Amino acid sequence: MQGKTIVFDTITVRRGGGIAFDTWHQNYYVPSVLATGQMLNVQCYGSPLRATYVAVFESNASPAALHGTLPAPAHEAILSTERHVAARMNQQAAPGAGDPFHDAPILYPVLFGVPAEGEKDFNAWYEEEHLGILLRSPYWPMCRRFKIDTPAPGSWTHIALHYLADLRALESKERDEARATPWRDQLAKHAWFKGDYRVLYKFGARRTLK
């Protein structure tokens, strides 16, 4: 089940954290967040390249209700943490895509820091042009967009969660086309138009609360 709000919870660990951290993350930390009673479910992803673990918690609580109420991660293997509480903006899926939210093996989050004066044009481009091109790729079935609640100054403000069926999506002609339009070229002239692109692989079973 998808929620109105997500908690995008990222932990980067030192190399060699190994099974001890894996066990702690899956058997203690994630359940401790679910135990707050504010989450619908969680899906977990990881990046071997970054030594990063990402849990995307779904909630119907307001962002304000989640701030300051969730347990902080604490383990000796942790190098850094990053947590964003974000409200859903929109979602687009390719026709006949099935259920990418549950089934897509790869999550491709893209984070942007968009100033207030650029937000209207940025959102229009993303939703009216960019996603329409990307979703023509057979490997790019869905994207969900969120606005981060109370972002730190100069930090990320928007998260796009792209659900990919295959890494070939990132080398597809559709992605090349989406990154070479006049509208995108105009936005790219702004210093803030530089996103953080991450490739994450799904692991573990999806946990849903009933």
pLDDT at 163: 98
Q: What are phi and psi of 31, to 5 degrees?
A: -60, -30
Tokens 């979602």 locate to 91
Q: What fold, for 5-208? A: Alpha-Beta Plaits (3.30.70)
23, 25, 39: which is closest to 81 by C-alpha? 25
pTM given for the model = 0.94
Higher pLDDT, 22 or 177: 177
Question: pLDDT by residue (tens digit) across 59-89?
Answer: 999 999 999 899 999 999 999 999 999 999 9
Question: pLDDT by residue (tens digit) across 34-53?
Answer: 999 999 999 999 998 788 99
Question: pLDDT by residue (tens digit) across 126-175?
Answer: 999 999 999 999 999 999 999 999 998 889 999 999 999 999 999 999 99
